[in-house]
C-alpha cells in the first residue's frame, strides 16, 4: 500500500513536471475578429414591458464603430486546453457554467462549455422565463421553467456541439453554448481574443458566430512567440 502511494506521488510529480515543461515550450495565438456587418435594429418588446422595457438591443451581432466583432468563438481544433490539475489527476475538468436570465436577455449571450459540464440556469427577473437548450438538429437537451427570481436549476449539458438557448415566453431571447474540449476563446467587445499555452505546431482554426461565417484556416504556433492574426467574418 505504501509503495503504491509512493508511486502515485512520483506519478503526480512527473505529470506536474511534464506540465511545467509543456507550459514553458508553449506558444499562443492572439487576434482580432472583425466584420463588415452592422449591428441589428432594436427588438420591440411585446410582453412583460414592466420588466423587459419597450425595446431591447439585439445582441446577435455586437460590433463596434471600427467593425470589431464580439461573441465570436475561436476554436483550435485538436488542441486540448492545458490544465495542470486535471493533467495531474489524469482527467479533464468540466467546469460548471451559469446562464442568467437578466432583464429578458441571456447573460452571457455566448459561452464556451466543456463536455459533461453542468449548466446552472437562474433568473433575476420577476416573470416566467424558460431556459430551453437545443442542439443544432433541434433536439431538446432540457427546458426548465424559472418562474421566480433567485431560483437556480442545474442540468447537464452532455457532449452536444453548439447549443442554442431560447426562452419560450420571450421569443427574442437567444443564448449560445459552444460545447467543446478543444482550446477555445470568445472575442471580447474590442474583437480581441487570446489562446494561451498552445503547443507548437500547425492547427486548424475555426471561428463560429451565431449569424456570421468565416472559413477555417491553418495556423502555425511557434514556441515562446505569440502568433497574431486577423479574422474577418461575413
Partner 1 sequence: MIPLLFAAALSLGEQAIQAPTTIPEMWGAWCARCHADDGSGKVAEPTIKVIPMDLRDCRWTTAEPDADWERAIAKGGPGVGLSSEMPGFEDSLTLSQIAGFVSHMRGLCKETGWPSGNNNFPRPIITEKAFPENEFALLPAVSHETEPSSAPATDFSLVAVFERRLGRRAMYEVAVPFYNWDFHSSRDAEIGDVAVAFKYAAFSSATTPGIVSFGLETTLPTGQLYKGFGKGTVVFEPFVAAGTMLGRWYVQTSGKMELPIDTLVNRVYLYNLYVGRGSSAALNSWTLGVELNGENHKLWITPQVRKELTGTGALAASLGASIPVKYRGEKVVSWVGYLVWEFLEPLRARR
Binding residues for partner 1, rule: CB under 8 A, are 46-47, 50-51, 126-128, 130, 132, 134, 138, 140, 142-149, 151-154, 168-171
- With beta carbons less than 8 A apart as the criterion, state whether 217 and 202 touch: no
Pick 143 or 197: Cβ nearer partner 1: 143
**Cα R_g (the chain), whole angstroms:** 20
Pick 32 or 130: Cβ nearer partner 1: 130
Rounded to whole angstroms, the Cα distance separating 166 from 130 reads 8
Pick 20 or 154: Cβ nearer partner 1: 154
Question: To 10 degrees, the CA torsion angle through 110, 40, 190, 99?
Answer: -20
Least distance CB 166 / partner 1 (angstroms): 9
Distance of CA 89 to the CA centre of its chain: 24
Q: Which of 191, 157, 148 is nearest to 177 (CA)?
A: 157
Pick 14 or 151: Cβ nearer partner 1: 151
Least distance CB 41 / partner 1 (angstroms): 19
Pick 74 or 165: Cβ nearer partner 1: 165
- With beta carbons less than 8 A apart as the criterion, state whether 206 and 138 touch: no
Q: Which of 168, 175, 33, 207 is nearest to 97 (CA)?
A: 175
Residue 38's φ and ψ, nearest 5 degrees, are: -100, 160
Continuous H helices in 122-172: none
- With beta carbons less than 8 A apart as the criterion, state whether 79 and 203 touch: yes
Least distance CB 146 / partner 1 (angstroms): 7
Least distance CB 171 / partner 1 (angstroms): 5
Least distance CB 130 / partner 1 (angstroms): 4
Least distance CB 118 / partner 1 (angstroms): 12
Pick 8 or 171: Cβ nearer partner 1: 171
Amino acid at each position: 500500500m505504501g509503495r503504491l502511494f509512493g508511486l502515485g506521488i512520483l506519478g503526480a510529480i512527473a505529470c506536474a513536471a511534464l506540465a511545467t515543461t509543456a507550459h514553458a515550450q508553449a506558444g499562443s495565438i492572439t487576434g482580432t475578429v472583425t466584420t463588415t456587418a452592422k449591428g441589428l435594429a432594436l427588438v420591440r418588446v411585446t410582453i412583460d414591458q414592466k420588466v423587459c422595457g419597450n425595446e431591447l438591443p439585439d445582441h446577435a451581432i455586437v460590433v463596434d464603430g471600427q467593425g470589431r466583432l464580439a461573441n465570436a468563438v475561436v476554436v483550435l481544433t485538436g488542441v486540448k486546453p492545458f490544465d495542470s490539475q486535471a493533467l495531474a489527476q489524469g482527467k479533464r475538468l468540466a467546469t460548471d457554467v451559469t446562464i442568467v436570465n437578466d432583464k429578458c436577455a441571456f447573460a452571457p449571450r455566448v459561452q464556451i462549455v466543456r463536455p459533461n459540464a453542468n449548466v446552472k440556469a437562474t433568473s433575476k427577473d420577476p416573470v416566467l422565463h424558460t431556459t430551453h437548450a437545443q442542439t443544432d438538429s433541434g433536439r431538446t437537451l432540457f427546458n426548465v421553467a424559472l418562474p421566480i427570481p433567485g431560483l437556480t436549476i442545474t442540468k447537464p449539458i452532455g457532449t452536444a456541439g453548439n447549443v442554442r438557448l431560447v426562452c419560450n415566453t420571450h421569443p427574442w431571447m437567444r443564448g449560445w453554448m459552444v460545447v467543446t474540449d478543444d482550446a477555445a476563446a470568445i472575442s471580447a467587445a474590442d474583437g480581441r481574443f487570446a489562446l494561451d499555452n498552445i503547443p507548437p505546431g500547425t492547427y486548424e482554426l475555426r471561428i463560429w458566430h451565431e449569424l456570421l461565417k468565416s472559413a477555417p484556416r491553418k495556423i502555425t504556433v511557434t514556441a515562446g512567440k505569440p502568433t497574431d492574426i486577423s479574422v474577418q467574418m461575413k
